[in-house]
């Protein structure tokens, strides 16, 4: 591997920086418009083309090993980032050891490409580049919110449509409702994804915005859009993050709030070892509010934990989540298909100690960035806290924006990018 010289410098127009950012924008846009794009691509047998951006990230993933540098002379990777690579490679070995199907391992590798891309995204330097990124965030937020509200009143043609890949039938955009209440997904493939985009992008804009009126408008629109999707965990997580920001002058309370949320995220899914355990409901309203949660406590969480056979090292790459569902083959265990809990997903992947440690470390890292005086790091950390809290009931690692953001968080706390070159202008 080529030595990483600390004296080599590149301009902010360095092509490698541009390639990484372009791939990030392309992946986010194709995912945010996933339902619509898959519908029209399937009509022309071009479904596989939608995976092209992730395949291109495979090439970018080798940038660190080529000794490439970003702008201002900072390498694309240092020891902490390389250790992430080593851990992922180790988990592949564990998966092979535990007879995980090669197709499932490859599929999970493709799923993790946005995370790898996040590891390569440098904190932007230069007003033009920074302003363009903020404009892109705003555009994607508008597209997400408009899509949700239009879908609320009008049924898009891709809703409920199906296509087949790898021998499995997949919905282009999920059409579903809870207690007769429609759950619009907008231009995305599922309502939770739409809420996820609205929350992450809205919180990023909240940090970037200087006007109080703009901040209030952004958050009211974000909360209303998420509420329409009926993704209650996203609404709750946003409210908690807003409280976190209000308590800016009470650092101990802020830390306690984050610690309590992270602890609850770990403890809750492990607190229901037996199936068919539900919270008591005494009205139609409480039944609607806790229906999804009770489904997790009665089935998803206890069955997932019971299906874990290797609690020390975990099941390995490809053994949990969508990769197991689509490409797991005869050796797959159906109850590992969905965790509906980010810490539980990590536990299945890396084992109890490893999964819990990684989750808590990510949460603490997001907190560290969120309290930074640097605008970019504060924005990334604030959005990071949101995905960690939503992770109580969602496998955030399987969402494209969550995956990219986790990669950026890991890079952000690795000491890769200088604070002085990552200050973002507010708008």
CA-CA distance, 401 to 67, in Å (whole number)? 27
Please, where are the H alpha helices in 318-351?
Answer: 322-327, 342-350
Q: C-alpha angle with apex 245: 195 to 290, nearest 5 degrees? A: 40
Q: What is the full per-residue pLDDT of the chain (427 aa) written as tens digits?
A: 233 333 333 344 467 777 888 899 999 999 998 888 887 877 777 777 777 888 888 887 777 666 555 445 555 556 667 788 889 999 999 999 999 999 999 999 989 999 988 888 876 655 566 788 899 999 999 999 999 999 888 887 777 666 665 555 666 556 665 655 677 888 888 888 899 999 999 999 999 998 999 999 999 999 999 999 988 899 999 999 999 999 998 999 999 999 999 999 999 999 887 766 665 555 555 555 666 777 788 889 999 999 999 999 999 999 999 999 888 876 788 999 999 999 999 999 999 999 999 999 999 999 999 999 888 899 999 999 999 999 999 999 999 999 999 999 988 877 555 444 444 445 5
The DSSP output letter for 341 is S
Burial classification of residue 90, based on how many CB atoms lie within 10 Å of its CB (0-12 exposed, 13-18 middle, 19 or more buried): middle
**CA 73 – CA 65 distance, rounded (Å):** 16
Q: Over 258-282, what HEC string results?
A: HHHHHHHHHHHHHCCCCCCCCCCCC
- Radius of gyration in angstroms for the set of CA atoms belonging to the chain, rounded to a whole number: 21
Measured CA to CA, the distance from residue 188 to residue 103 in angstroms comes to 26
């Amino acid at each position: 591997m080529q030595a990483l010289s600390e004296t080599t410098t590149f301009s902010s127009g360095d092509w490698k920086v541009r390639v990484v950012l372009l791939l990030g924008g392309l992946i986010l846009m194709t995912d945010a418009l996933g339902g619509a794009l898959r519908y029209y691509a399937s009509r022309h047998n071009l479904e596989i083309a939608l995976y092209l951006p992730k395949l291109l990230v495979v090439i970018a993933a080798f940038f660190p090993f080529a000794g490439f540098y970003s702008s201002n002379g900072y390498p694309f990777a240092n020891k902490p980032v390389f250790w992430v690579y080593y851990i992922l490679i180790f988990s592949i070995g564990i998966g092979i050891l535990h007879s995980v199907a090669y197709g499932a391992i490859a599929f999970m590798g493709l799923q993790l490409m946005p995370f790898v891309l996040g590891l390569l995204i440098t904190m932007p330097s230069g007003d033009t580049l920074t302003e363009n990124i903020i404009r892109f965030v705003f555009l994607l937020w508008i597209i997400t919110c408009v899509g949700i509200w239009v879908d609320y009143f009008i049924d898009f043609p891709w809703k409920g449509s199906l296509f087949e890949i790898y021998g499995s039938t997949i919905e282009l955009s999920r059409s579903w409702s809870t207690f007769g209440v429609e759950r619009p997904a907008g231009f995305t493939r599922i309502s939770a994804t739409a809420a996820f985009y609205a929350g992450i992008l809205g919180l990023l804009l909240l940090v970037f915005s200087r006007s109080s009126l703009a901040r209030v408008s952004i958050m009211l629109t974000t909360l209303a859009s998420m509420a329409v999707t009926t993704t209650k965990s996203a609404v709750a997580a946003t409210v908690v993050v807003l409280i976190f920001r209000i308590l800016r002058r009470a650092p101990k309370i802020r830390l306690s709030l984050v610690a309590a949320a992270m602890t609850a995220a770990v403890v809750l899914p492990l607190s229901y070892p037996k199936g068919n355990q539900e919270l008591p409901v005494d009205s139609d309203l409480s039944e609607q509010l806790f229906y999804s949660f009770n489904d997790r406590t009665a089935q998803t969480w206890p069955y997932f934990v019971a299906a874990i056979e290797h609690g020390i090292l975990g099941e390995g790459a490809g053994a949990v989540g969508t990769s197991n569902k689509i490409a797991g083959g005869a050796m797959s265990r159906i109850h590992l298909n969905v965790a509906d809990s980010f810490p539980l997903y990590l536990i299945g992947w890396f084992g109890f100690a490893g999964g819990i440690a990684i989750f808590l470390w990510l949460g603490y890292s997001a907190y560290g960035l969120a309290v930074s005086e640097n605008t970019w790091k504060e924005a990334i950390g604030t959005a990071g806290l949101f995905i960690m809290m939503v992770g109580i009931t969602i496998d955030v690692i399987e969402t494209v924006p969550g995956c990219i953001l986790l990669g950026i968080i890991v890079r952000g706390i690795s000491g890769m990018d200088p604070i002085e070159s990552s200050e973002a202008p507010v708008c």
